[in-house]
Copies of this chain bind each other. A is one copy, B any other.
């Protein structure tokens, strides 16, 4: 279906409750629907927002257009969790209902301040000529979930910034509040990350400067910049749209990348000793990742699994996209590691465990598409692991491994419903040669997440095969140890 502008921006109170109820049922009963990941209650989900710990619970919000698989009038939907795995929907938290966010309550972040949660986000406003003004806005959420927006934007946009000025990350450092914001310059249409600061949070904001991340080319716009501190070291996570492939190679329509450094100077907005930029995920669909360091001292990240400007097969069912599982971040020898959180183990149905210990071809002809495989493939082997496959492998999500030369490819060539094929159907990463390969693989009906070698690399992708495809098998006898489990629905 083609969405007109009028349809995409129809106010929520001009949609009917019956339409929404029907969309919610359609999303809930979709065969491709995620069972243990955060998924839209209806319509389209995009960026995670406001990922935080507040009032003794984990909180995350997501960008939502509840009325179909389109980027229409956006709001924040809210979920809470006790363990970062089992999430409970809390519904619409931030609606596009003021002058400043009239055309969308766009992305932002959250920070617990006192006994309330401060939400900092971008309001998307369009005038009668469809001219856009982005406003950086604030709102307070209390412990009962009531949200009260500040009356006015937090500050006036600088003149040198274009209409692309959004996705503020609120943080606190040394008694001051800071915000990292993605922007585009008017003059050269360059993507940048700005650092702003305030002593008072609700007012007094001024720009510190453009963040020096050690890379000149950040494309035409930086979306969702996130300055994280992982094991105490700064890691900038960002989405440099339109970045030159010479700056850093990437395969997806837009990259989600990271840059580590030895320090961050808040006075000069400078990453100290920045390292080369890397892809955050080596799969097909990770974007707009958002993280924060929790009171437990650990830094957690969650990603949109979906990309701007692409369509997905479930669009026909009027819903689209999901969030990744939450990933715990660590730095080892300057390298970023992403691993499942501990509570993911609680999803394992222990009585379904299949133990692999040596030469194996078939893992389980009825494994299905809601499970985890934790495997170690011996050195000096080549082969293919087929998952969610049918008997003749004409449908399969495949992992081609070569532990001799050191390579792993995630292959979604053989799909019932191909997606984003313009950007290729395989993603390949390099591995140490002649080494065992450790994989922790999660399947959730239309999502695969592969944690490689303890999270040194992650390959995430949506896939769309028939749910009757149950086979988990190697293409030939393979030396492998590990365990496969069915996972519980959340």
Contacts and interface: CB of A to CB of B under 8 A. Distances in A.
Contact of A144 (B13, B29, B90): B29
A91 B21 contact: yes
Given A29-B144, A90-B29, A91-B28, A16 B18 contact: no
Interface stretch (A81-89, A198-206, A262-270, A415-423): A81-89
Contact of A29 (B27, B86, B91): B91
A161 interface: no
A95 B18 contact: yes
A277 interface: no
Interface string A68-110: 0000000000100010001011111101000000000000000
Contact of A17 (B67, B91, B489): B67
A17 B25 contact: no
B25 A86 contact: no
Contacts of A146: 29
Interface in A12-40: 12-22, 24-25, 27-29, 31, 35
A93 B22 CA distance: 9
Contacts of A15: 16-18
A343 to B, nearest CB: 10
Contacts of A90: 25, 28-29
B92 A489 contact: no
A297 interface: no
B28 A88 contact: yes
Interface residues of A, number: 37
A489 B67 contact: no
Contacts of A29: 90-91, 144-146
Contact of A19 (B11, B17, B490): B17
Interface string A380-424: 000000000000000000000000000000000000000000000
A273 interface: no
Contacts of A488: 82, 86
B66 A489 contact: no
Interface string A459-490: 00000000000000000000000000000111
Given A145-B29, A488-B82, A488-B86, A92 B21 contact: yes
B489 A82 contact: yes
B21 A144 contact: no
A92 B12 contact: no
Nearest to A14: B16
Nearest to A67: B17
Nearest to A24: B91
13 contacts: A12-B18, A13-B18, A13-B19, A16-B17, A17-B19, A17-B66, A24-B91, A25-B91, A25-B93, A29-B90, A82-B488, A82-B489, A88-B489
Given A27-B91, A29-B91, A82-B489, 10 more contacts: A14-B16, A17-B20, A17-B66, A17-B67, A20-B20, A21-B92, A25-B92, A25-B93, A29-B144, A29-B146
Closest 10 CB pairs of A and B: A25-B91, A29-B145, A15-B17, A12-B18, A13-B18, A17-B20, A21-B92, A13-B16, A24-B91, A28-B90
